[in-house]
Structure 1
């Protein structure tokens, strides 16, 4: 049984309540208390008033019912507070209620996130008393507070009053949005008139009211916003409605055609407009949402081994020679593991052994040596000028450089001697090294933020600013969940204020609450559980989760493997398995990445752990790339990145739909950007936009890396933006499915049959509607 927490509040009626003491006889006071106020009560009175002032419902009314029992010969002064009615709350709900607005983070405590061109779904619950129709408009305000654009909202859950619309910011900055609910007099009239005509009552009266309504519509400010065609449709309807020479039914029919309804949806007459609060929306640059990352250990690129077994490290110059090939596969970001001096005390050997041999380079995560700490460069890699040149070569090939930010130190780090207060000291006087029992990491000292938080915070900020000055624009943060969240919130805000273009990727494989809160406080992207989602149902469930409401806060980054993780599926899946996971990662998330060697299908684990044997964290690992194209994965990576670059649908997150496949080894999902959103969604990273049609990508994947799988699939045509030919249910082929991986095209209907052999093709990545 756990020991009760002595600091926990004791709640009456629970097991934690303090036991009652036996009743004791109350002793009479030795003598009557004086009637004068004592010094102690005089001092207590201001404190009591201050405490009362801090109570949210403390008012003059509640003070009036507080009585002081005057002392008598038998009583000491006692303050008795009798309950008072709660004050009437401020009326904050609008004439037309707007509640449950999204995307809103903790009531607006932190901003929701977007990027220029991102399609942002806005939802709210809107309703009113009675039966009159209501509707809503999403309103986007730019960083200056000016209305930038509005979007109609539609009821997406009839009976539940849930409305949805889409906003699309076009620049970076701190934007806001709101939802305006309003009474819809046209929809109310159209409904009531139709019902009464069907019942044969008040027909002339309803037509007369309709004439007055259309006169209001013509005089309303919205008239100026209508397109010429919409204005013509509305004017013609008003003319026919007012023509008493026509039959009543014909007059009503003309005023309620689909064209009139659509025109008055686009530019409505709005009564009783009731706005919600304004909610924050922080718009980061596009790379915060969309990009393809490639991870390298710079020391391995160009490393050589002499006949006597001694190694010569790769350098920034030799690593730069690899950049054209990485760019050739379509990657946007080259991510470098730590490039700092490495400690010698307790240095780890190959495969994480404790006995490092002469020449073993050690783990780059054991940061710090005599040559310097987090702001220094390992001398074997080159100089600061060499690093800056590496960044420039990457930029010349269209790539940015991301750097690993690992806030931990080797025992040789300069901070250990200059700032021992930044580390936790144990009872025996030693500094605590990193542990994850039963694992011990004697070569790493975690930082401790509670002795000198201000000093340590500033030191880390200085390090980050140094690397930004050297050209780093993204940081992959190692294990941020092991550092205080208030530190991260401060650091990210400081960097954003100085360099809003700099982005941070959170490498926190941890509990959902921690991952989500790291995103809330400012991390731009996060690693995810995708690496361990392998079955059909769990993959689809996870895709829906990260593409749903959480996508307004936590942007996912999908990695099939990392230098730390080699999941069982890839240990046993062969080339087919690596192809499957690449397709899922590249199409399942706008941001994805691979670790160097993925093209070579490096799938041999170290016994007993989910990571590669002969792990690159502990040794040099130069690779022979000559036969990579023969394996086929490098070609697949290049094609996937090209498709992603050409199709805005794959650059968005919150646009996923799931379709049904009868075979449990075949999964199907799609992503769609509507035509009206394409110009902004395309941004500057696409080479083509599909004219005036929607951009729709349909992904069909065989999850079995070894066996051929076939299935009939059942498509949600509405989710694809498709309408079957008149008089059909869509079963017969009526659209073209163009496979972007192979160039093949197929005539498809709502229920196509697919067959995928992993020896040749693990997936279809279909562009819908184009030949």
Structure 2
């Protein structure tokens, strides 16, 4: 069957897009998006293309012209200016007027009869004039009349000059004939988040451990006092583990023991008791007035609150009695507790997302999000999202964003890479990563390149946590203070989003033998710390965060350029702004036990620095300044002196 209509222009290979457009790309407010596509048409027509953008729900498109590059590749760009969902498309069309100008110019040789071509041109001009308005219409009609007069008088050259002249050329650019064109459908989408989704320093702490008296349960008031120290270190997001009432049945004791003794506080992840569940506060932390004061203090200090969103219930949770069908039942009728073999969590009942009351369960999970947003929470760190149906996340994040597009979701998904990627696609703005276990040069280079290049860079933002309450990696267990410094620099500069769990600044590294877990874990007991203990790296963490704030290059996620350093124990990489006004080189000794030196190869051409020009290497960590010349430099790093350089490249 002969088609009634067909695209008059081919638009294909559009970038950026995710899974052919199934999922939105991710950006933050103020970020520029460069769009490219292959655009072509049969024959020899001149083409034009416009990039069209709008916020979802708007009626009118904003247009900007695209430019043609090599081999029919076209380019356009725009800046997203507000949070929420955006969409963009491309309209391309045969530029009938310019094609006519090209044809008649080529044919305009002495003796050529171009009367027919001029009549064709008049038809083109009149069609555009029909949609012109005001002064433009008058000017176009005047030129058209002059062309007709010249043509009638046999003044072919004069008629051509009028038709292709600057004035008519400008008028026709304002009123192009797009009848032989095509607009790509459906449009592609963008999820635009707040800038803090792509540039932030996270600090995780347990409010119950903030007391300054041994063994006394900390409160929100204690936490308010702690906020000032956290802000002084340069952190702008505080992440709180669950702060809800903790169950008593099968409560875990210290070091995850199966038997709790009087005074054991249990795991915050075993949520729910007679005081309530996910929409209640643990009474020992304080009252809602205390919470409101905590929120107000965070706002005064410019700190955002990230709350752990955990879909666990203790056997004492109100849901167990009110909605028994929301849980997994064994054949004997008992409710199945959570397991992650060989680990067992007798104090936790997981929710059954396959329940016959799926609508009720899903709606309740949404209500928990909305409740805490109403209480001042702006970010949710979601516990184990890979163990819940992905369609649930796509639905619930979409529902939250429909009412509160400013909310940010972080996926704590240490799972298969494809699942981590899918969770990012369906709405998680950030994700935990495997950075924690990447210690060697080739591993770090390969992994960071994977996260920040290709299609993955369009939707995935890795939050590089150096440690967590669950993870004390071997490099920190055995590498001592130099390892803590080294890993902090890597986390804070390889990614624009990073975090630490409290105690990191004290270089806490006592582990359960043979495991990557803390001994005397804070997950099961209250810990009291001396924040000024000898050997702490508070000043170094503070300086790293100051450097991140001072250097725009370190505030961008997808701009890591790995440099060649001859020593396999030396990792070197650069970040720079698009205009090269800010260039930062990081050089890190990956061996916390030995000194290492290397020849560093500096890509002067990429930096826009002539090879015969001297330039300054200003180490922002130590304050030292070096005079470098040429494409190579010598670096030396040692555990006893410095583990890393964060160098700002300055031209003299």
Shorter chain as normaliser: what TM range? 0.7 to 0.9
Q: Partners in 1 of 2:212 and 2:323 — Cα distance?
A: 35
Answer yes or no: is the 8 Å Cα contact 1:737–1:748 preserved in 2: no
The structure 1 residue matched to 2:208, chosen from 299, 319, 325, is: 299
Flag the structure with more relative contact order, 1 or 2, with Cα contacts below 8 A and sequence separation at least 6: 2
Task: Give the secondary-structure state (helix, strand or coil) at the position aligned to 2:270.
Answer: coil
Task: Please tell me whether the aligned partners of residues 126 and 135 of structure 1 are also in contact (alpha carbons under 8 angstroms).
Answer: no
Matches within 5 A, 1:491-510: 491-510=396-415
Distance 1:418 1:367, change over 3 A: same
Match of residue 716 from structure 1: 603
Change (3 A) 1:183 1:331: farther
Equivalent of residue 171 in structure 1, options 82, 90, 94: 82
Partner SS, residue 312 of structure 1 = coil
Cα offset, 1:653, TM superposition: 1.7
Q: Deviation at 1:518? A: 1.2
Q: Residues 126-169 of structure 1, C-alpha deviation per residue, up to 9 Å, x if partnerless? A: 566799998977554455365557476685xx77x766665421
How far is the alpha carbon of 1:416 from its aligned partner? 0.6
Q: Deviations over 1:503-545 (max 9, x none)?
A: 1111011111211111111111111111111111111122122
In structure 1, stretches of 5+ residues that fail to align are: 1-86, 189-201, 206-219, 222-266, 306-310, 676-692, 725-729
Q: Which of 323, 327, 342 matches 2:246?
A: 342
Structure 1 residue corresponding to 2:11, chosen from 89, 98, 109: 98
On the 8 A contact 2:246/2:268 being kept in 1, the answer is yes
Q: Does the aligned pair in 2 maintain the 1:121–1:654 contact within 8 Å?
A: no
Post-superposition Cα deviations, 1:427-462, rounded to whole Å, max 9, x if no partner, equal 011001001223211111000122211111121222
- 1:606 aligns with 512
Separation of aligned partners in 2, 1:154 and 1:624: 62
Q: Map Cα deviations across residues 626-658 of structure 1 (whole Å, 9 max, x no partner).
A: 236x53x22222122122222222222222222
Give the secondary structure class of the aligned counterpart of 1:369: coil
Partner of 1:674, secondary structure, is: coil
The answer to whether the 8 A contact 1:118-1:652 is kept is no
> Structure 2 residue aligned with 1:111, among 24, 28, 51?
24
Tell me which residue corresponds to 2:346. Answer: 442
Are 2:83 and 2:406, in contact at CA under 8 Å, matched by a contact in 1? no
* More deviation, 544-553/498-507: 544-553
**Distance in 1, Cα, partners of 2:416 & 2:601:** 35
Q: What's the CA shift string for 1:70-90, capped at 9, x where partnerless?
A: xxxxxxxxxxxxxxxxx6678
Give the SS at the match of 1:618. Answer: coil
Match of 1:622 in 2: 528
In structure 1, the residue matched to 2:490 is 584
Distance 1:605 1:169, change over 3 A: same
Structure 1 residues 454 and 636, CA gap change in structure 2 (3 angstroms):
same
CA distance in 2, matches of 1:583, 1:88: 64
Are 1:657 and 1:719, in contact at CA under 8 Å, matched by a contact in 2? no
Please list the CA deviations of residues 457-516 of structure 1 after superposition, one character each: whole Å capped at 9, or x if unmatched: 121222222211111111111111111122222211111111111211110111112111
Using a 3 Å threshold, how does the CA distance of structure 1 residues 661 and 427 change in structure 2: closer, same or farther?
same
Q: TM-score, normalised by structure 2?
A: 0.82
How far 1:100 moved relative to its partner?
2.2
Which residue number corresponds to residue 734 of structure 1? 614
Is contact 1:733–1:750 with CA below 8 Å preserved after alignment? no
User: What are structure 2's unaligned runs of at least 5 residues?
Assistant: 100-106, 111-127, 130-173
Q: Distance in 2 between matches of 1:357 and 1:434?
A: 22
User: 1: distance between equivalents of 2:384 and 2:411?
Assistant: 7
Aligned-pair distance for 1:586?
Answer: 0.8
Q: Per the alignment, do residues 164 and 347 of structure 1 end up closer, same or farther by CA in structure 2, a change over 3 Å counting? A: farther
Residue among 357, 368, 388 paired with 1:483: 388
Deviations 1:231-267 (A, max 9, x none): xxxxxxxxxxxxxxxxxxxxxxxxxxxxxxxxxxxx9
Task: Label 1:276 to 1:715 Cα distance change in 2 as closer, same or farther (>3 A).
Answer: farther
Over 3 Å counting, the alpha-carbon distance change for 1:671 and 1:338 in structure 2 is: same
1-side partners of 2:51 and 2:586: how far apart?
31
Shift in Å, 1:379: 0.8
Say whether residues 1:752 and 2:633 are aligned partners: yes
Deviation at 1:668, TM superposition (A): 2.0
**Distance between the aligned counterparts of 1:94 and 1:759, measured in 2?**
69
Residues in 2 aligned to 1:119 and 1:659: alpha-carbon distance in whole angstroms: 26
Q: Distance in 2 between matches of 1:117 and 1:317?
A: 37
Deviation at 1:393, TM superposition (A): 1.2
SS at match of 2:564: strand
Question: SS where residue 463 of structure 2 aligns?
Answer: strand
Number of positions where the alignment pairs a residue of Structure 1 with one of Structure 2: 584
Q: Any idea what SS the aligned residue of 2:13 has?
A: strand
- CA root-mean-square deviation: 3.4
TM-superposed CA distance for 1:335, in Å, is 0.7
Closer, same or farther: CA 605–164 of 1 in aligned 2, 3 Å:
farther
The question of whether the paired residues in 2 share the 8 Å contact of 1:367 and 1:410 is answered with: yes
Say which of 282, 293, 309 aligns to 2:191: 282
Larger radius of gyration: 1
Q: Give the Å deviation of 1:409.
A: 0.5
C-alpha distance in 1, partners of 2:331/2:443?
Answer: 46
Q: Which among 403, 418, 425 is matched to residue 520 of structure 1? A: 425
